[in-house]
Amino acid sequence: MALIVHKYGGTSMGSTERIRNVARRVAKWHAAGHQIVVVPSAMSGETNRLLGLAREITDRPDPRELDMIASTGEQVAVGLLALALAAEGIPARSYAGWQVAVRTDSAYTKARIEGIDHKRVTRDLDAGKVVVITGFQGVDDEGHITTLGRGGSDTSAVAIAAALKAAECLIYTDVDGVYTTDPRIVPEARRLKVVSFEEMLEMASLGSKILQIRSVEFAGKYRVPTRVLSSLTDPLMPLDEEMRSGTLITFEEDEHMEQAVISGIAFNRDEAKITILGVPDRPGIAYQILGPIADANIDVDMIIQNQAVGGTTDFSFTVHRSEFKKALEVIDAEVKGKIGAREIGSDEKVCKVSAVGIGMRSHVGIASLMFRTLSEEGINIQMISTSEIKISVIIDDKYMELAVRALHKAFDLEHAG
């Protein structure tokens, strides 16, 4: 008998029939003697519907009120799932984040979890109940409702698993695991049975979109064994088979038996690039450029600054395409004149493609194989950035699919390592 946290995404909760399927699956786990906490997302489309109503009223919504509105989607979901569980004969009880309580800071629409009081949940579990907790939300010190941002239910699930010291956190979603790259682009893409925490972190931040990045950070910080698996399988499939499906995120390198040099090709298609040319080479210049960007609440992805030549250097960074115009305005208004830059260059249509793999640490030649492959396809590399376990390049948006396919083949990812 173990304590297991299940998380179901919006698609898995997309209709009352699907909610009944979730209940059947949870009932199977409960019947096998496990203690189960379920964290469902809002029914698919619901959060967008709610935010759409808010947008019909005002362009500049107060984030506190947005959280009041958006948090209701998950509250409906937990209530419906508790009803469906009861209909399966399973005693169940739902809680909103504030009832647990899931305590967060007061950064409305992007709050961070600070702690989870789990007494109430533990009491219900010990009484044989399945506990259903809203994802995506919590409550601040003043008793205001907060939300964690898009995909926040993953983070809720992992944080709850950490607080309860759960044996495993199962993230049920509409894909059956983490792949070597997006199968819609490379049909030969292969599901990874195991992926290291560090790789998953890179994959998530690079746009694999399977798990919210903060949930992976949480899983790493508290070493929560986390498995990504499909909610579209038969809910009554044998339990041992289900426990071997999907992709397990591990923290032990020796579990990483099938490790190839490269685990996958990740990409992010919605990037935009801003380059500040002729930046004076003096201390504090990077902060002078990125400080105003951070103050405007714009997330920066890649940052590149090369060795100065002749007292000046060029400074580049990428942002999400939706924040490109705003970022450019900030640079024009608050940075350009102040630091005495020569010129601002920009490209709204770039993408990032990355090769990710723990094996890279001990292998030379990965970078050169990557660059050679892109060169053979005639793809110009605009920016390069590397970490211990990944190499990322910024290229023209239109070459993205080509680059991903070519790299997937070059690293022989269609065959198990």
User: Can you give the binding site for a copy of itself, defined by CB under 8 A?
Assistant: 16, 19-20, 50, 53-54, 56-58, 60-62, 64-66, 68-69, 71-72, 75-76, 78-80, 82-84, 86-87, 93-94, 96, 98-99, 143-145
Cα separation, 245 vs 227, whole angstroms: 9
CA-angle at 302, arms to 296 and 304, nearest 5°:
105
Q: Among residues 138 and 225, whose Cβ is nearest to a copy of itself?
A: 138
Q: Report in angstroms how near the CB of residue 61 gets to a copy of itself at its nearest.
A: 5
Q: Among residues 100 and 285, whose Cβ is nearest to a copy of itself?
A: 100
Dihedral over alpha carbons 353, 359, 364, 369 (to 10 degrees): -40
Cα dist. 24→43, 86, 237, 350, 363 in Å? Answer: 17, 11, 11, 44, 46
Q: Report in angstroms how near the CB of residue 118 gets to a copy of itself at its nearest.
A: 15
Q: Among residues 63 and 291, whose Cβ is nearest to a copy of itself?
A: 63
Cα separation, 388 vs 12, whole angstroms: 36
Asked if residues 258 and 417 have their Cβ atoms less than 8 Å apart, the reply is: yes
Q: Among residues 78 and 293, whose Cβ is nearest to a copy of itself?
A: 78
How big is the chain, counted in residues?
417
Q: Report in angstroms how near the CB of residue 148 gets to a copy of itself at its nearest.
A: 17
Q: Report in angstroms how near the CB of residue 138 gets to a copy of itself at its nearest.
A: 14
Q: Report in angstroms how near the CB of residue 86 gets to a copy of itself at its nearest.
A: 6
Q: Among residues 111 and 406, whose Cβ is nearest to a copy of itself?
A: 111
Q: Among residues 66 and 167, whose Cβ is nearest to a copy of itself?
A: 66
What is the β-pairing status of strands 35-40 and 3-8? parallel
Q: Among residues 54 and 243, whose Cβ is nearest to a copy of itself?
A: 54
Q: How many other C-beta atoms can be found within 10 angstroms of the C-beta atom of residue 415?
A: 9
Q: Report in angstroms how near the CB of residue 183 gets to a copy of itself at its nearest.
A: 33
Q: Among residues 61 and 292, whose Cβ is nearest to a copy of itself?
A: 61
Cα separation, 118 vs 271, whole angstroms: 40
Cα separation, 275 vs 345, whole angstroms: 5
Cα–Cα nearest to 333, from 297, 296, 304, 305 = 296
* E-state strands within 41-142: 92-95, 102-104, 113-116, 130-133, 137-139
Please list the residues that pair with 393 across neighbouring strands: 353, 384
Q: Residue 414 has what DSSP assignment?
A: T
Q: Among residues 84 and 210, whose Cβ is nearest to a copy of itself?
A: 84
Q: Report in angstroms how near the CB of residue 134 gets to a copy of itself at its nearest.
A: 9
Q: Residue 394's Cα: distance from chain center in Å?
A: 20
Longest distance between any two alpha carbons in the chain, whole Å: 76
Q: Report in angstroms how near the CB of residue 130 gets to a copy of itself at its nearest.
A: 12
Q: Among residues 102 and 178, whose Cβ is nearest to a copy of itself?
A: 102
Judged by phi (left if over 0) then psi (alpha if -120 to 50, else beta), residue 104 lies in beta
Q: Is 186 helix (H, G, I), strand (E, B) or coil?
A: coil
Q: Report in angstroms how near the CB of residue 11 gets to a copy of itself at its nearest.
A: 17
Q: Report in angstroms how near the CB of residue 64 gets to a copy of itself at its nearest.
A: 8
Please list the residues that pair with 305 across neighbouring strands: 315
Cα separation, 50 vs 185, whole angstroms: 32
Q: Report in angstroms how near the CB of residue 85 gets to a copy of itself at its nearest.
A: 9
Asked if residues 281 and 308 have their Cβ atoms less than 8 Å apart, the reply is: yes
- What is the separation, in whole angstroms, between the first and last Cα of the chain? 34
Q: Among residues 6 and 273, whose Cβ is nearest to a copy of itself?
A: 6
